[in-house]
Amino acid sequence: MGTNGPNKLIIPESELKARFTPSGGPGGQHANRSNTRVELIWVVTESKILDKTEQEKVIQKFGTVIRVVVDETRSQTRNREIAKGRLQARVASSLRSPKKRVATRPSRSAKARRLSSKKRRGHLKQLRQPPRADEN
């Protein structure tokens, strides 16, 4: 993952483009006048922190441009921090390789439990049926 190591991805501020707009919804004068909504844009192909294979992984999952919008708090600074954290989490998740599935078999006792519960259920359903004419 570039020079940042596998655990922590740090996207430089110089690679991020931020737009600030007023938050929608209720909130009175503060919400109507303050540009607290943050739209953070990162162009993956222009990034210097990822090599080609990492860029391809990110592009395959999210496309060439990743856009994160946050308007949770009344603070522009806090919204920007939240947006940056989400962006970094998205990119880091796309670079993690999925865990290999290890095929397992049910144990003998698990099979027996399953079959006995199926037999019990079948017997219960059989008891609900009206008696047949040939049984009388």
Q: Is the pLDDT assigned to residue 105 strictly greater than 90?
A: yes
What one-letter code names the amino acid at 34? S
For residue 74, what are its two tokens? 């009344």
Q: Which two tokens stand for residue 14?
A: 């110089």
Residue 2 has a pLDDT of: 46
* Cβ(94)–Cβ(61) below 8 Å: yes
Report pTM. Answer: 0.63
* Mean pLDDT in residue range 20-39: 76
Residue 109 has pLDDT above 90, yes or no: yes
**Which one has a higher pLDDT value, 12 or 135?**
12
What are the structural domains of the chain? 13-95 (3.30.160.20)
Does 125 score more than 50 pLDDT? yes
Q: Which residues pair with 55 in a beta bridge?
A: none
Quote the pLDDT of residue 127.
Answer: 93
* 49, 4 contact by CB (below 8 A): yes
